[in-house]
């Protein structure tokens, strides 16, 4: 959504995506979906448990995170529809001959603008779930993200949720937010004895984000709040995942602009013990885990991270990987106690529970 990438970067993503599809296609059984194949209806929880509801849509599916989510879904036997924002993305996929007649091994690509409600409804039609992973990125901005992008992202979030509600087949939506929508708070209470816990109940202060010109944090906060407002009282199950800085193999090449936007204000986060990272594969697993648990235990927000950067050496290494020296660390000593403590117990419980279920299934099959 609004992501501008070089031709070389896009071709590398598409090539990696094609290899992933070929690896994932063996042994998967997928259904088929055709536009105009008949009326669709909202699937019940019971029907989904019987094997229905395995068609989902992923927005910005060839992005760094979207790609990982698609990979995870395919490995679990889902049919995945790729909602692409630009004709360039679609043309590159066609040039790679990935889908044949727009279908291959349970994958479809469709054009859908997140600012166009009708195109979103068309893209979501026939899907039971939507993974909204898109984010606006402005490579021309000093930090990769502008105030205008923040406003656009909030409006796009409203349209995505409205499209989910209007599309009869869609029952669930997993919305990608950010840890930055939780950590930028004004006048946070500080206890001299114990650190203040930052969890899913915490929201970033929009006024503080504006004062500090933290446009990426502002955009994520506004967009997530807009999604919750749009879904309130509607026939749609919504959960949001709030990942830390997403890293992983090739993240500098494939996600450098978003990473630099995330790290505006990183020096303050580092000093407070709130600068965290998470591997892209774990974020993808978290998205699918909460999606599959939405019929039972999953609800609300989920903070997702797997490492907190606490030492200057770690900060310097991240700066080196992204080519942004002196963005995070400083000459100021950082061996003082931090005032805050991040908490990801909620997502950890969901993911460990899903893993146990998968192990039980495999034990039954192979024993």
* Active-site residue list: 220
- Asked if 128 and 170 count as a contact pair (C-beta separation under 8 A), the reply is yes
Distance between CA atoms of 181 and 333, rounded to whole angstroms?
27
Q: Which residue has the tokens 């995506």?
A: 17
How many other CB atoms are there within 10 angstroms of residue 229's CB atom? 13
What pairs with residue 342 in β-bridges?
198
Degrees to nearest 5, angle at CA 175 with 238 and 147: 130
Cβ neighbours of residue 146 closer than 8 Å, sequence gap 6 or more: 138, 140, 215
The dihedral sign for the CA sequence 276, 282, 284, 289:
negative
Distance between CA atoms of 319 and 86, rounded to whole angstroms?
31
Q: Tokens for 305, please give them.
A: 């991270």
Q: Are strands 79-84 and 107-111 parallel, antiparallel or unpaired?
A: parallel
Picking from 141, 146, 116, 5, the residue whose alpha carbon sits closest to that of residue 66 is 5
Phi, then psi, of 84 in degrees rounded to 5: -105, 140
- Tell me how long the chain is: 367
Q: Are strands 340-342 and 107-111 parallel, antiparallel or unpaired?
A: unpaired
- Asked if 149 and 194 count as a contact pair (C-beta separation under 8 A), the reply is no
Report the SS3 class of residue 167: coil
What pairs with residue 206 in β-bridges?
none
């Amino acid at each position: 959504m609004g992501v501008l990438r070089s031709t070389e970067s896009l071709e590398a993503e598409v090539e990696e995506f094609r290899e992933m599809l070929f690896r994932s296609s063996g042994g998967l059984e997928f259904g088929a979906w055709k536009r105009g194949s008949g009326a669709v209806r909202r699937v019940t929880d019971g029907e989904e448990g019987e094997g229905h509801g395995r068609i989902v849509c992923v927005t910005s599916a060839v992005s760094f995170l979207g790609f990982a989510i698609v990979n995870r879904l395919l490995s679990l036997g889902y049919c995945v529809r790729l909602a692409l924002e630009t004709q360039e993305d679609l043309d590159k996929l066609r040039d790679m001959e990935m889908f044949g007649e727009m279908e291959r091994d349970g994958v479809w690509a469709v054009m859908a603008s997140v600012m166009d409600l009708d195109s979103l409804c068309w893209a979501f039609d026939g899907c039971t779930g939507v993974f909204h992973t898109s984010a606006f990125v402005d490579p021309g901005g000093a930090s990769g993200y502008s105030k205008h992008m923040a406003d656009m992202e909030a409006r796009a979030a409203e349209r995505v949720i409205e499209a989910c509600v209007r599309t009869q087949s869609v029952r669930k939506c997993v919305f990608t937010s950010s840890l930055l929508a939780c950590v930028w708070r004004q006048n946070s209470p500080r206890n001299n004895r114990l650190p203040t816990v930052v969890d899913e109940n915490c929201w970033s202060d929009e006024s503080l984000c504006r004062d500090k010109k933290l446009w990426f944090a502002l955009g994520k906060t506004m967009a997530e709040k807009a999604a919750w407002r749009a879904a309130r009282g509607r026939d749609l199950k919504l959960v949001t995942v709030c990942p830390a800085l997403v890293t992983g193999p090739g993240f500098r090449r494939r996600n450098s602009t978003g990473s630099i936007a995330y790290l505006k204000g990183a020096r303050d986060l580092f000093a407070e013990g709130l600068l965290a990272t998470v591997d892209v594969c774990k974020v993808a697993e978290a998205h699918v885990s909460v999606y599959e648990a939405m019929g039972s235990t999953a609800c609300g927000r989920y903070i997702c991270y797997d490492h907190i950067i606490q030492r200057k050496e770690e900060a310097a290494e991240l700066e080196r990987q992204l080519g942004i020296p002196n963005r995070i660390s400083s000459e100021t000593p950082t061996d003082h106690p931090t005032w805050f403590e991040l908490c990801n117990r909620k997502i950890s419980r969901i993911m460990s529970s899903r893993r146990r279920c998968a192990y039980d299934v495999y034990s039954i099959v192979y024993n």
